[in-house]
């Protein structure tokens, strides 16, 4: 029986998923990120200290565990890959070369309400760069370039990365005279969910804002530009603060670098805040054109204080692709698929059971040359064996004989062939992943 929020893909969907993961992995490695895998569990105290609510953390315990075990002893499944990565860095900093660039592709678990494209168990693909003591800002500008290259390598709708900087928001709020900037950020982050009127009311109620201050926060959040013109738009609001100026300068660098690399990839969106408490500067969210109503499929940001050992800090910046989220949305709309449901390119027809050894040798010769091949399961009539291939989208059936022949069952063309030399067109060798 299916369990809500725990997706299981069909074989044809798994082909798509593996293709997507290969593209992600190869792009990450082109930029010099090294692979890492961390354990699935972290101490509960660690998970709850990083901005996630206890309602969303899954506990791990033995069935016969003592009821009296303390909270400090409890383990939880990780809800993202950044928190375990920060822990890994602190435990292994003496063995790492800095700046340390890693990518991580793993399952994570989050007890959210399941809905289309949003799951309780899902696959994420992260990149992060951490350094000792200080991390140069140019790494913030690099993150969107990597992600842009990933998405452009896939047959999916255009992705737009929305970017902001928490220094812009916090500096602006300080300049307005609002001291509880964290509460203002959390409230403004709810704009898309509850709308501006309710956000304004909440700012007055929970952050001590006046109506005028609340309206000023909304005017900042409404600024959205695809170039650095947001700087003048913010300054036109008449609020000044050194942290605000610093944030505007950093955000302009990110936008200008992305526009040079891939025009149209990025947009400064000053309502983006990100819910996790550990972000301190640049923050990213990503939408697919035509799928904006489903929210972000890739997000992250800069964190200065997530990892430290004694007086040594390890600041970082990272971004995470919600692979399961992306695939779930596109599968749900029939917008991503594979040309066949199996890797097989050729089925070797079986004239009779006593010829199975001959057929196995033909299949072995084809596989040795990198051609995915299987032998028909039974010596049924050739029409049924062709039907067996056709139902799975397998393009070729091989007929043993003197000489052997191979048939393209799509066109009906049948030619003499030698398993030591015959090669299918490159487009047929592996399933082709296409988008609509």
- Calculate helix-pair angle for 181-188, 196-206, nearest 10 degrees: 160
**269, HSE (Cβ side, Cα atoms, 13 Å):** 21
Task: List beta partners, residue 313.
Answer: 308
First-last CA distance in the chain: 31
Output the CA–CA distances (angstroms, integers) from residue 386 to 53, 350, 408, 409, in the order listed.
55, 11, 10, 7
Output the CA–CA distances (angstroms, integers) from residue 392 to 38, 343, 431, in the order listed.
37, 10, 11
Q: Any binding-site annotation on 187?
A: no
Q: Any binding-site annotation on 274?
A: yes
CA 388/CA 348 separation, integer angstroms: 11
Output the CA–CA distances (angstroms, integers) from residue 121 to 10, 116, 300, 323, in the order listed.
16, 13, 19, 11
Structural tokens at position 105: 């592709």
* Cβ proximity of 44 and 71 under 8 Å: yes
Q: Any binding-site annotation on 279?
A: yes
CA 250/CA 243 separation, integer angstroms: 11
* Cβ proximity of 282 and 292 under 8 Å: no
Q: Any binding-site annotation on 19?
A: no
Q: Any binding-site annotation on 282?
A: no
Q: Any binding-site annotation on 278?
A: yes
List residues forming the annotated binding site for L-histidine.
Answer: 80-82, 110, 124, 128, 274, 278-279
List residues forming the annotated binding site.
Answer: 80-82, 110, 124, 128, 274, 278-279
């Amino acid at each position: 029986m299916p369990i809500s929020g725990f997706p299981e893909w069909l074989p044809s969907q798994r082909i798509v998923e593996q293709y997507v993961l290969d593209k992600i992995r190869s792009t990450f490695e082109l930029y010099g990120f090294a692979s890492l895998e961390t354990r699935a569990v972290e101490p509960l105290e660690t998970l709850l200290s990083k901005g996630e609510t206890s309602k969303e953390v899954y506990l791990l315990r033995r069935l016969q565990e003592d009821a009296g075990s303390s909270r400090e002893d409890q383990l939880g499944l990780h809800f993202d890959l950044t928190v375990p990565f920060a822990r890994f860095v602190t435990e292994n900093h003496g063995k790492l070369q800095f700046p340390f660039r890693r990518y991580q592709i793993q399952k994570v678990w989050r007890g959210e309400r399941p809905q289309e494209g949003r799951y309780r168990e899902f696959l994420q693909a992260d990149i992060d760069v951490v350094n000792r003591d200080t991390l140069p800002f140019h790494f913030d500008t690099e993150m969107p370039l990597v992600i842009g290259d990933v998405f452009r390598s896939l047959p999916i709708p255009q992705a737009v990365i929305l970017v902001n900087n928490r220094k812009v928001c916090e500096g602006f709020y300080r300049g307005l005279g609002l001291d509880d900037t964290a509460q203002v950020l959390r409230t403004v982050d709810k704009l898309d969910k509850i709308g501006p009127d309710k956000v304004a009311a909440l700012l007055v109620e929970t952050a001590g804002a006046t109506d005028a201050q609340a309206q000023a926060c909304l005017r900042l959040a409404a600024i959205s530009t695809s170039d650095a013109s947001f700087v003048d738009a913010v300054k036109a609001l008449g609020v000044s603060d050194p942290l605000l100026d610093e944030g505007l300068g950093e955000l302009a660098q990110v936008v200008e670098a992305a526009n040079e690399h891939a025009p149209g990839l990025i947009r400064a969106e000053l309502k983006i805040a990100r819910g996790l408490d550990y972000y301190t500067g640049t923050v990213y969210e990503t939408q697919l054109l035509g799928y904006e109503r489903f929210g972000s499929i890739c997000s992250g940001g800069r964190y200065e204080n997530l990892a430290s050992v004694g007086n040594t800090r390890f600041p970082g910046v990272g971004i995470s692709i919600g692979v399961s989220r992306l695939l779930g949305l596109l599968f749900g709309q029939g917008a991503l698929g594979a040309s066949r449901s199996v890797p097989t390119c050729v089925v070797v027809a079986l004239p009779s059971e006593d010829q199975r050894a001959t057929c196995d040798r033909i299949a072995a010769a084809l596989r040795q040359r990198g051609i995915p091949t299987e032998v028909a399961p039974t010596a049924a009539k050739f029409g049924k064996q062709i039907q067996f291939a056709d139902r799975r989208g397998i393009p070729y059936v091989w007929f043993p004989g003197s000489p052997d022949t191979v048939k393209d069952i799509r066109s009906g063309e049948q030619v003499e062939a030698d398993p030591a030399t015959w090669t299918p067109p490159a487009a047929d060798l592996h399933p082709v992943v296409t988008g609509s």
